[in-house]
């Protein structure tokens, strides 16, 4: 089934490993307005947000909305999808698309997912044809890692470091906000006690 109502609203689709934060698949349907997103930076950022939301709030992020763009998230056991669309894309249609893509992805790459084999990311590149079938539109197929295994291992290590750094930054920011709020509460209580003693 092609999601023809969505085909003009979609810019990018990425598949990112949950444990390592590495982008194992990327597909571009249209250039983003006035910008180009680096897959490594984006996957590290999205992984940090995903981990932050699950560890701090115990909830899964569903979407992130900007002025003109929306980043939709669909979390699976080993990977998650990120779809970048215009702000006008219907979220119900996006969720149905995610379900169809998940079914195809799990069926096609079941063995790789079970074995946690995310180093050979070139094995996922032909998924682009199936995504095109679902979306009903041709894309600029991006084969990210037609590179030697050593390059992929190095990239994996770098992505892991970036993810740890981003996670630490998010945690530090959250703790700073909590400390500030606690300081405000303490001052308010101190002021109340002082007033009661007078």
CA distances from 50 to 102, 151, 152, 197 (A): 18, 26, 23, 47
**Interstrand relation of 63-65 and 23-28 (parallel, antiparallel or unpaired):** unpaired
CATH 3.40.640.10 is the classification of domain 10-197: no
> What is the reported pLDDT for 163?
64
Confidence grade of residue 146 (pLDDT, cut at 50, 70, 90): very low
> What is the reported pLDDT for 2?
55
1 pLDDT above the threshold of 60: no
Q: Does residue 14 contact residue 127 with C-beta atoms inside 8 Å?
A: no
Tell me which DSSP letter residue 26 carries.
E
> What is the reported pLDDT for 91?
92
pLDDT digits (tens, 9 = 90+) for 38-83: 777 788 888 888 888 888 888 888 999 988 899 999 999 999 999 9
> What is the reported pLDDT for 19?
81
Confidence grade of residue 106 (pLDDT, cut at 50, 70, 90): very high
pLDDT digits (tens, 9 = 90+) for 164-187: 676 677 667 766 766 776 776 677
CA distances from 144 to 25, 27, 54, 115, 122 (A): 7, 10, 28, 21, 7
What is the arithmetic mean of pLDDT over 90-105?
94
| Domains in the chain: boundaries | 10-197
153 pLDDT above the threshold of 50: yes
Count of CB atoms situated within 10 Å of the CB of 82: 23
> What is the reported pLDDT for 46?
85
What does the alpha-carbon distance between residue 56 and residue 181 come to, in Å, rounded to a whole number?
Answer: 16
Confidence grade of residue 145 (pLDDT, cut at 50, 70, 90): very low
Backbone angles phi, psi at 125, to 5 degrees: -65, -35
- What does pLDDT average to over the chain? 80
> What is the reported pLDDT for 137?
86
What is the arithmetic mean of pLDDT over 99-104?
95
**Given strand 10-17, what is the order of strands in its sheet?**
63-65, 69-75, 79-86, 10-17, 23-28, 140-142
What is the arithmetic mean of pLDDT over 121-136?
88
What does the alpha-carbon distance between residue 133 and residue 2 come to, in Å, rounded to a whole number?
Answer: 6
> What is the reported pLDDT for 154?
67
Please report where in the chains the tokens 């308010």 appear, as a residue: 188
């Amino acid at each position: 089934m092609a999601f023809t109502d969505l085909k003009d609203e979609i810019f990018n689709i990425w598949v990112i490993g949950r444990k390592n934060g590495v982008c194992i698949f990327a597909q571009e349907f249209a250039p983003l307005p006035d910008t180009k997103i680096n897959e490594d930076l984006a996957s590290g950022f999205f992984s940090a947000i995903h981990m932050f939301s699950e560890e701090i709030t115990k909830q899964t992020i569903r979407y992130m909305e900007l002025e003109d763009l929306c980043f939709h998230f669909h979390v699976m056991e080993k990977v998650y999808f990120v779809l970048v669309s215009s702000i006008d894309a219907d979220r119900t249609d996006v969720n149905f698309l995610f379900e169809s893509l998940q079914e195809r992805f799990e069926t096609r790459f079941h063995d790789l997912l079970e074995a946690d084999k995310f180093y050979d990311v070139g094995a996922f590149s032909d998924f682009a044809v199936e995504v095109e079938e679902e979306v009903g539109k041709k894309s600029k197929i991006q084969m990210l890692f037609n590179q030697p295994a050593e390059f992929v291992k190095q990239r994996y290590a770098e992505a892991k470091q970036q993810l740890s750094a981003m996670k630490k930054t998010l945690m530090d920011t959250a703790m700073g906000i909590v400390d500030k709020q606690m300081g405000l509460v303490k001052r308010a209580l101190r002021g109340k006690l002082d007033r009661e003693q007078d």
